[in-house]
Structure 1
Amino acid sequence: MAAEAELSALLTESRRFPPPADFARDSNAQPEIYERAHLDRLKFWSEQASRLKWDEPWDQVLDWQAPFARWFVGGKLNASVNCVDRHVEAGNGERIAYHWIGEPEGETRDISYAQLKDMVCQAANALTELGVAKGDRVAIYMPMIPETVVAMLACARIGAPHTVVFAGFSADALRNRIIDCDARLVITADGGFRRGTATALKPAVDNAVAGLDGVRNVLVVRRTGQPVDWDDARDRWWHDVVAGQSTEHTAPAHDSEHPLYVMYTSGTTAKPKGILHTTGGYLTHVSATHRLVFDIKPESDVFWTAADIGWVTGHSYIVYGPLANGTTSVLYEGTPDAGGRDRWWRIVEEKQVSILYTAPTTIRTFMKWGEQFPGAHDLSSLRLLGSVGEPINPEAWIWYRKHIGGDRCPVVDTWWQTETGGIMITPLPGITATKPGSAMTAFPGISVDVLDNGGKPVDNGGGGVLVVTEPWPGMLRGIWGDDERYRQTYWSRFDELYFAGDGAKRDVDGDIWLLGRVDDVMNVSGHRISTTEVESALVSHPSVAEAAVVGATDAITGQGIVAFVTVKGDAALDSKAGEQLIADLREHVAEQIGKIARPRQILLTPELPKTRSGKIMRRLLRDVAEHRELGDVTTLADPTVVNMIDEMMATTTHPEE
């Protein structure tokens, strides 16, 4: 009972963890930063931009013609130069840019900033030789290898916007993106490694570009050595085209608003949206947030964003943010359990990682496996932990802090989106308190609010939808080729306010809690209930490892709550024990939130359907709960999981209330 009482106390919204003394003393951010940014927001962002190298200064900080923004108008710079050349010129060429670790045990490469600069210059010369010109789009479909970063920076160097497509996507998904942005070149690899197996990538590219006359070349990195089909008229080996190039390249200056990249957000039925990010504002935003949110000390820190470069987290906090700040990063190819469930913790120990940034899904997976795996390694090098990708439930937050951070590392729970470019809501570890499950407050220079359905700000203790009330440097500049869709998607609900599509609440202290997508806020008998809140309640039960909650149509209540739960441990529950646990869980949720939140139906399942990046595919679980035909399952790590769950659901009933 004492342990349960302690957990209950930790989960209350009034529980705060003050900043540790060492952070308060040595933090990059000082308390006055909020007031300074509030008094003159544009001056604050101008100061952050000034930390970059500009070839030509800007004439105007912001030109805002709602909903279109231009930042640092008239300024010119090169993102690649800011990420590599200037650090070499400053005498830091021998500093390690990346500790690259392949999935196969023992496969590592340490790449210095000087070496990275040479590789990027060679790749830029190669792209030019292949006919890629400023403004041409380049599609990148690659595993987590150094050449992926090199390809991105080479594109940025010559002014060719890149679109990186996650290597787990299908050939059709890749083809749609290539067509939408009219890519002229595709950069890929023969394959990559996943759970000890060489997986092919080139065949998907071959299928994707078939019949596309606009794609002039496919540039292929030899990664696994597996045989590939070859088109002599189109295909080129990276080692043939790039390796012999000069390591010198004069980088042109690009306008601050020159397109840097297009990243596609996946849709269910609608065409994926090509989110456009430009150069100066984006680089300012990601470098500032990386430096201040993670309290970066480039001379000593080893930073690890445990994500894939194919997502925006990888763009902003594996590539552009850390490199702009001259940071040493870990770049890891494999899965968390490749070579054993302690693989990550061996990496932390061996590379002396000081900052770890990962997703709640991964944290909950580690919880399920057990604390004995991190407990077997020396994690004392860690000084800061971060969470990204979805709202983190309080129990996972506490487990992360205790078992990974040794109850001494602050946890920064960050909210942002592909569209925002960089972190928007977060604690600052040296000057703000943290709360389990709360992203706390807007980053300095960012202005957000929580509005009710009528567009009025909610009081403390109230909930509604999240909006951004002022333009910000890293904001998307539009949807590629579709300005009207941009207006309608993000700016039509509230006049001149960016609608994030996420629900949020302010607690009694005014701190912000993200509730997930608005379509993940269920309406049960007129009560708005967040799927995240119910998931957090379920995961706080000692028997639960992970939970996903969706709303399903209910003739009486409007929506009923359906929960999919995996239990801790490897032992399967027998029928009687399973029935008892389901009953216990329903009452546990009722006790944690209220009877209105008690799930209508709970399904105990060995696994949840996840993408290869580890994100739970709640869209498919909604299909299961509604007894609909399953949607696209091609991006799942294991498509059989959702089929198994669908079969289980078909044979179960839910209790009548």
Structure 2
Amino acid sequence: MSSLQYPMAFRRSIESPDEFWMEQAEKIHWFEKPKAARTIDENGLDLWFSGGKMNTCYLAIDHHIAKGRGEEHALIYDSPVTQTTRKYTYNEMLDEVSRLAKGLDTLGVTKGDTVVIYMPMIPEAVFAMLACARIGAIHSVVFGGFAPHELALRIDDAKPKAIITATSGIEIDRIIPYKPMVDDAISKSIHKPEHVVVFNRRLGAVRPDAEYDIDYKTLVKASGHIAPVPVDATDPLYILYTSGTTGKPKGIIRDNGGHAVALNYSMSAVYGVNPGEVFWAASDVGWVVGHSYIVYGSLIHGNTTVIFEGKPIRTPDASTFWRVISEHNVRVMFTAPTAIRAIKKEDPNGDLMKQFDLSGLRYQFLAGERCDSATLHWLEEKLGIPVIDHWWQTESGWPMVANMMGYAPHPVKAGSATKPVCGYDLKILREDGTEADPNEEGYVVVQRPLPPGTLPNLWGDTERFIKGYLTRFPGFYFSGDGGYIDEDGYVYITGRVDDVINVAGHRLSTAEMEEVVSSTLNVAECAVIGVNDELKGQIPLAIVVVRSGTNVQNHELSANIINAVRVEIGPVASLKKVCIVDRLPKTRSGKILRKTLRAIADGAEYTLPSTIDDPAIIDEIIARFKEEGIISSAANGNKIDTISQS
């Protein structure tokens, strides 16, 4: 890293962003160098490195081979659920990826086409992403925990020419058949892809054949190699769908050039890792962490990356993370607080850690959800190294707030993700758009321009992008999160201000869940809220009013609702609790008081709005929450006496 310390580097990135990022752009390989750092398109949106020609797959593989590193390890696959470990060199990666890319080319997939990838955590998922990048195709990875209905929504939006999938995923106690879910999704979708490339894992899963099927191994074996296709820096690399408040997924676009520059910078500046070292992001390729730091960031920067197929516990026990770190000499690791909480619950004294040599681990990063102080301090004590909570979003693609370990790090403050990362001019605004005082909670925004690597737009919906992110506070990107900055400049993120909840680091729309719940037989109306959970951070709670005149039993209706959400959205939703009430609290205009319901469920303070239709209903809700064990039987709510006039 530069000898510049954080304050000076940050100031340069904000005051002279074009100069700052052109310097970082010099650190990746271009076929044609960009003519400018930043330009503005016809919609007034920022574009990075226009005129530059490059290829992301080339940066991730070929470039390292050209520098003589072909026989070094690029990828480690560790699967405790199949008891398999496999290491791939850059040369082996190139052979696999180039053959698959050529195979896709022979199927008619060309630059600008889209490909949906629905894969478990296996090397072929990484190969598929890189193969698309190699030929300039735009991939959209869909997390394997999503049900066919959700996959169908993404197929219709992305309109892929092909889908790449596997016969199955595998968990601790079950095989998950992927191919039947893909077929079901295609039957539900309006758009029909031309081909489905199927990787046969030979784990005994049902594999129904269809006319559009192509066998993955046959395709790769029959194919030769293909050179990387030069693309514009501003061309899309991928689409990644994230939950929106309307229930319709938003297709976040990631460009090629800005993405590569930002991720390469972040590996050294944020994570403090050197090329050649092993970096492990214990996430899934279906999420932004997997895109940025299992695949692209690690490989572009020249780090050996780990793809892990397993869980933090029960594969076989709570020691599995420490085994992987020790066995593969992981220097920097990144996971979600949920995973650490699960390990802590199983092994509170950290006895299982003591079996392994963890002396090579330099930093432990946490993100995906807010990290509670107890988890942070427990991990600090057990590992004896810096534990770094940091914050970012699918939209940003890389960290927005962090303790930047590539510079002189700051002291850790539990509950804070530390300070804004270089390039992010982050502020806290009040409702009226004025800047909040230190320690005053408000809306988390970033002054434009956003740095490279962040979303330039939404797939096929510029109007939604501008309205959703840029309109509420003109001149700023609105993150959708609330928070505050203390007197030392430390940023604290307090959570979403919309109807999106964070379940074990996965952003999910409560509006979408409400749609499923409300369409369940015998449901008159409902509200789905996110409530605090010791393990997962938040979990959804469905609060339901039954249709009058029905004789359905509460337990039967609850089971039907839970199953419907699982089928329509997927197990990732984690809806396991339904509370049936006589009526929902509303304003006189009919708006359900979801914020009040959340506060009651979490035992937080709440103020009844002056517009509430019937204040007595709150006592009924508290009584039902007690009966259902949602709140303590001793709780009486934390109502503030003064009725809000807002």
Report the TM-score range of the alignment, normalised by the length of the smaller protein. 0.7 to 0.9
Name whichever of 114-123 and 422-431 sits farther off.
422-431
Correspondence for 1:191: 168
Match of 1:173 among 131, 150, 159: 150
2:18 paired with 1:42? yes
Q: State the shift of 1:34 in Å.
A: 2.6
Correspondence for 1:6: none
The number of residue pairs the alignment matches comes to 545
2:376 paired with 1:376? no
2:576 paired with 1:642? yes
Match of 2:431 among 434, 453, 460: 453
Q: What amino acid sits opposite 1:479 in the alignment? A: L
Q: State the shift of 1:228 in Å.
A: 3.6
Match of 1:478 among 445, 457, 462: 457
Q: State the shift of 1:36 in Å.
A: 3.4
State how 1:80-99 maps to structure 2 within 5 Å: 80-99=57-76
Q: State the shift of 1:229 in Å.
A: 3.9
State how 1:59-98 maps to structure 2 within 5 Å: 59-64=35-40, 68-98=45-75
Matched residue of 1:402: which SS? helix
2:401 paired with 1:435? no
Q: State the shift of 1:500 in Å.
A: 0.2
Matched residue of 1:354: which SS? strand
Name whichever of 132-141 and 41-50 sits farther off.
41-50
State how 1:209-248 maps to structure 2 within 5 Å: 209-210=186-187, 214-231=192-209, 233-246=211-224, 248=225
Q: What amino acid sits opposite 2:395 in the alignment? A: E
Q: 2:110 touches 2:137 (CA, 8 Å); kept in 1?
A: yes
Match of 1:410 among 361, 383, 386: 386
Match of 2:294 among 309, 318, 336: 318
State how 1:586-601 maps to structure 2 within 5 Å: none
Distance 1:235 1:131 in 2: 15
Matched residue of 1:60: which SS? coil
Q: State the shift of 1:199 in Å.
A: 1.7
**TM-score w.r.t. length of structure 1:** 0.77
Any stretches of 5+ residues in structure 1 without a counterpart?
1-25, 522-530, 536-549, 551-558, 567-607, 609-614
How has the CA–CA distance of structure 1 residues 413 and 656 changed in structure 2, closer, same or farther, with 3 Å as cutoff? closer
Matched residue of 1:101: which SS? strand
Correspondence for 1:632: 565
State how 1:253-402 maps to structure 2 within 5 Å: 253-267=230-244, 269-299=246-276, 301-337=277-313, 338-369=315-346, 370=348, 371-402=350-381
Name whichever of 374-383 and 171-180 sits farther off.
374-383
Q: Deviations over 1:1-50 (max 9, x none)?
A: xxxxxxxxxxxxxxxxxxxxxxxxx8887444234334422111111111
Matched residue of 1:344: which SS? helix
Correspondence for 2:636: 656
Correspondence for 2:476: 497
Q: State the shift of 1:212 in Å.
A: 5.2
Please provide the CA RMSD for this pair: 2.9
Matched residue of 1:330: which SS? strand
Q: State the shift of 1:503 in Å.
A: 0.6
Q: Deviations over 1:325-373 (max 9, x none)?
A: 0101111011112112211111111111111101111121122122222
Q: 2:369 touches 2:537 (CA, 8 Å); kept in 1?
A: no
Correspondence for 1:425: 401
Q: 1:103 touches 1:194 (CA, 8 Å); kept in 2?
A: no
Distance 1:651 1:297 in 2: 51
The sequence identity of aligned pairs, in percent, is 36
Name whichever of 60-69 and 258-267 sits farther off.
60-69
Q: 2:530 touches 2:538 (CA, 8 Å); kept in 1?
A: no
Q: State the shift of 1:192 in Å.
A: 1.6
How has the CA–CA distance of structure 1 residues 232 and 175 changed in structure 2, closer, same or farther, with 3 Å as cutoff? closer
Distance 2:544 2:249 in 1: 23
Correspondence for 2:179: 202
Q: 1:29 touches 1:295 (CA, 8 Å); kept in 2?
A: no
How has the CA–CA distance of structure 1 residues 622 and 331 changed in structure 2, closer, same or farther, with 3 Å as cutoff? same
Q: 1:67 touches 1:487 (CA, 8 Å); kept in 2?
A: no
Distance 2:574 2:15 in 1: 55
Q: State the shift of 1:651 in Å.
A: 3.9
